[in-house]
Structure 1
Amino acid sequence: MIREIQIENFKSIKKMKLELGRVNVFIGENGSGKSNILEAIALAGAAAGDRLDNEFLFSRGVRPSEPRHMRCALNSEAPSSDIVVSLSSQDKTRVNFVLTHDGRPYSSWKCKSSGEASVILKTSRMLAILEMMLAERETNAPIDSNLAPLSKLIETDRLASAIAELRELERTTEEDDDTELVLKTDKFSSLKSDKSKGVKDLMEFVIFSPENQSLRTFEREGQIEPLGIRGEGLLKFLQVLDSTPSYEDAFLSIRKRLKILGWFDDLFVPASERNSTSKIEIKDRYLSESAGRLDQFSANEGFLFLLFYFCLFSTDLTPRFFAVDNVDASLNPKLCAHLVTELASLAGANDKQAILTTHNPATLDGLDLNDDEQRLFVISRGDEGETKIRRIKQKEGSASDVKLSTAFINGYLGGLPKNF
């Protein structure tokens, strides 16, 4: 998972650092910069994959605009040329992206340098690994497959000097502290191995903003598979789940979770439709048999939004790291709270990491802030217009019995307009 993100000089963000859990909820007034944070992460993901053209950025949920509007241009200072996004993952890998644009028409953003990455380990462990690499090189022995990705990034001279520095550090200090080894990378190609899951997760990062009409369509040309940012491809996705034995349990789980809607009985992909995937059938327990079943066009939009979210969180077919902008859209307030609880459970079970934005106070009541992997952040603007972020913490045994929704709407958490 991605654990820490630092952003500099992007839209309304001057400089920011945030530490993520598994499920992260952003609240704040309109225009505070919630979506800008998501877009900065998506921009870094596109840079990791060397795909910074506007068409690709748009398909990932970024709103490309003129370079002067992509850079921070607050009144207090002139806009600088570089956007910087740094991310640290759970596997102790850190990557740093420096992005620039020459301002010419039809030009794309570029990753200014090949990039930096770092590995953080205990000094003794780092020394043992580097000594093993050096020994393998001196004897021309095959590189251990587990070390190959890291080995490709270190020149022999740098390897020898790093070993000397670590030996001296080990000799002069009593504690076996963490040591950081900074590496230059070639477009992060060497970091795409299984040993760098954080970078792979970043490259797949998508900002989903499902829309009613898109959820009712089969798929659209150019969408990122399996699910587009507006919800395109949902029907085909259901067909895949229904026709693939290994996803039978996931499909059953999705249908069970949908029963939080009192009228819902079951969901089917008719055998006659499995080739065209143009239709699903939804059984409403209140309808008579003669009335038949609903399809995606006659179903209410709240049902389709729930169906999309459960699909997104339930299988390895979808990204491990993603965002959902306005997760409360089209949903009843109490249902929003229950949805967040369900999504937190699914995220843990299926190794997903998500950032959710919301304007509905009731959504917050689905969070368990005593679980450190569920985190709430308030996004606001500072005195100079810069986007700021603050984490809300609640520990076991807190004296306050006020619901988070009440605390939000009463202004205790912040993130509300102050001009009226």
Structure 2
Amino acid sequence: MDVLKKLRIERFKSIYEQEIEFGSVNLLVGPNGSGKSNLLEALGVLSAALSSGLESTTLDIKGVRLSLPHIFKSAFKNHELPKTFRLEAHFEHGRYDCSIRSGINSQFLEFATEALYDGDAQVFGRSGHGTRLHSVAKDVPNFDKSLVPSTRSVWSVIEPLVRISAELRAELDEFSKFAIYAPQTAVMRGLAIDQRVVEPLGLTGSGLATALATTERRDPIKFRNLMKIVWEPGWADMIRPGAFDPQVVPSQVRSEGTVLYIRDKFMKGGRNLLSAFDASEGTLYLIFVATFLAHNLTPQVFSLDNIDGTLNPKLVRRVSRHLIDAIISAEASDKKQAFMTSHHPSSLDSFDIFDSHQCIFVCSRSSENSANGGGQTTFRKLLPPKDMTKEDWTLKHGARNLSELMLNDRIPGAL
């Protein structure tokens, strides 16, 4: 089951007005600066709203850039500067929407309006006239609506006290854990420390050795299956966490208590162990992806920004296939929903666009001569023509894969 079915975005950064329906695995492709990361950050802001609110600390642990508050709103030439931006999320069993304001001199984002619906029944509403509890009013008769700060969501205050359907509560809970992950080589090598405390893995790869160790102990079979991707480059045949060994690890490495060691199968015994500091950055990225997918505390809904990372074209294709297989084939209790960005054509080749659970979105910005004044981000789902079969598709395109079509400019806007 996909947690987030549809998202409507209005006046958020380069996205002026878009409505997007998602699948289980969602890949965003398009030119630099086209707005791919803006969509991920809209999801991050929405998740922050449902977890505790719009304070900078909450946005930060979601992976949202801490821009000046007014930067979050669109500012297109041919449009008046908006007072708010709006996000509307459709889940399987309900809907949540909010509009958020920020002036040029604002120090933080604030809620202007909020509403939550359990099915068709409104749970609460918030506007400039105050907050009104609807279907749950009887649960909290003495609720003091004036005590909800403008940066705090109503849901984060009333959530422990009210009764809504178990299905919607589970969806809100899972989406509130969403975060944007972007592994950084310096952090995984131990040369930099990400101060944000996020479990099981930091947003940029901190805590990788510890997460790997706990994953292997908890579910060794699942761990081994997901770790198969790590052996793809062909030089490593063992990975293990361990204590800091000054004979292997340079003194400038910040170990965070546990160090990752990787064995090079081509080297002599006694000289065949490398720490994360000396391992290839591509291998570190593969270890991150495998550990992230295997860990039981990984969020059910997550984003990986730039899945191509530092990988060569073959590995980009393999890691995207690895992610798709892990998510699509997971048991119901372990189902996940992923949002990914990539600049590499090979990332498209693992997707089956005839499967509604696997979605590719081409992200682009309108031209200066367009009716809306130009610069607005659009998301176009890559779909085969109606009633076309896979066999027809193969014949029409001469068995060429999606990366070839993209490079030959047969996927408009992707480059």
TM-score (structure 2 length as normaliser): 0.79
> 1:267 and 1:152 mapped to 2: Cα distance?
54
Structure 1 residues 78 and 362, CA gap change in structure 2 (3 angstroms): same
Which residue among 200, 203, 206 is the counterpart of 1:229? 203
Q: Is the CA contact 1:153–1:185 (under 8 Å) kept in the aligned structure 2?
A: no
User: Is 1:310 aligned to 2:304, yes or no?
Assistant: no
Give the alignment of 1:87-102 within 5 angstroms: 87-90=89-92, 92-102=93-103
| Cα offsets for 1:313-354 (capped at 9, x unmatched) | 223211111111111010010110111111111112141111
User: Is 1:270 aligned to 2:271, yes or no?
Assistant: no
Q: Is the CA contact 2:97–2:114 (under 8 Å) kept in the aligned structure 1?
A: no
Q: Is the CA contact 2:20–2:379 (under 8 Å) kept in the aligned structure 1?
A: yes
Structure 1: which 5+ runs fail to align? Answer: 121-125, 127-150, 157-183
| Cα offsets for 1:169-188 (capped at 9, x unmatched) | xxxxxxxxxxxxxxx96447
| Partner SS for 1:112 | strand
> 1:185 and 1:101 mapped to 2: Cα distance?
18
Structure 2: which 5+ runs fail to align? Answer: 122-132, 139-152, 246-254
Q: Is the CA contact 2:12–2:72 (under 8 Å) kept in the aligned structure 1?
A: yes
| Partner SS for 2:32 | coil
1:411 paired residue number:
409
**How far does residue 379 in structure 1 lie from its aligned partner after superposition?**
0.5
Q: Is the CA contact 1:46–1:57 (under 8 Å) kept in the aligned structure 2?
A: yes
2:149 paired residue number:
none
Counterpart of 1:216 in structure 2: which amino acid? Answer: R
**How far does residue 373 in structure 1 lie from its aligned partner after superposition?**
0.8
| Cα offsets for 1:333-388 (capped at 9, x unmatched) | 01101111111111121411111111111111111222221111100112321110
1:109 paired residue number:
109
**How far does residue 194 in structure 1 lie from its aligned partner after superposition?**
5.6
| Partner SS for 1:16 | strand
| Cα offsets for 1:249-299 (capped at 9, x unmatched) | 2332233332222122121223789x9742122122212213231221111
2:150 paired residue number:
none
| Cα offsets for 1:177-232 (capped at 9, x unmatched) | xxxxxxx9644724695643321222111111111011123964333222222111
> 2:10 and 2:118 mapped to 1: Cα distance?
19
Give the alignment of 1:20-419 within 5 angstroms: 20-90=22-92, 92-105=93-106, 107-119=107-119, 153-155=135-137, 186-187=155-156, 189=159, 190=162, 195-217=168-190, 220-242=194-216, 244=217, 246-270=218-242, 277-348=257-328, 349=330, 350-382=334-366, 383=370, 384-394=374-384, 395-397=389-391, 398=393, 399-400=396-397, 401-416=399-414
**How far does residue 102 in structure 1 lie from its aligned partner after superposition?**
4.6
Q: Is the CA contact 1:219–1:236 (under 8 Å) kept in the aligned structure 2?
A: no
The root-mean-square deviation of aligned C-alpha atoms, in Å, is 2.7
TM-score (structure 1 length as normaliser): 0.78
Structure 1 residues 254 and 271, CA gap change in structure 2 (3 angstroms): farther
Rg: which structure is higher? Answer: 1
| Partner SS for 1:31 | coil
Q: Is the CA contact 1:14–1:72 (under 8 Å) kept in the aligned structure 2?
A: yes
> 1:390 and 1:416 mapped to 2: Cα distance?
10
> 2:170 and 2:81 mapped to 1: Cα distance?
34
Q: Is the CA contact 2:301–2:338 (under 8 Å) kept in the aligned structure 1?
A: yes
Counterpart of 1:391 in structure 2: which amino acid? Answer: K
Q: Is the CA contact 2:244–2:259 (under 8 Å) kept in the aligned structure 1?
A: no
Q: Percent identity?
A: 27
> 2:297 and 2:33 mapped to 1: Cα distance?
33
Structure 1 residues 56 and 154, CA gap change in structure 2 (3 angstroms): closer
> 2:165 and 2:326 mapped to 1: Cα distance?
26
| Cα offsets for 1:25-70 (capped at 9, x unmatched) | 1111111111111101100111112331223312322123223321
Structure 1 residues 186 and 351, CA gap change in structure 2 (3 angstroms): closer
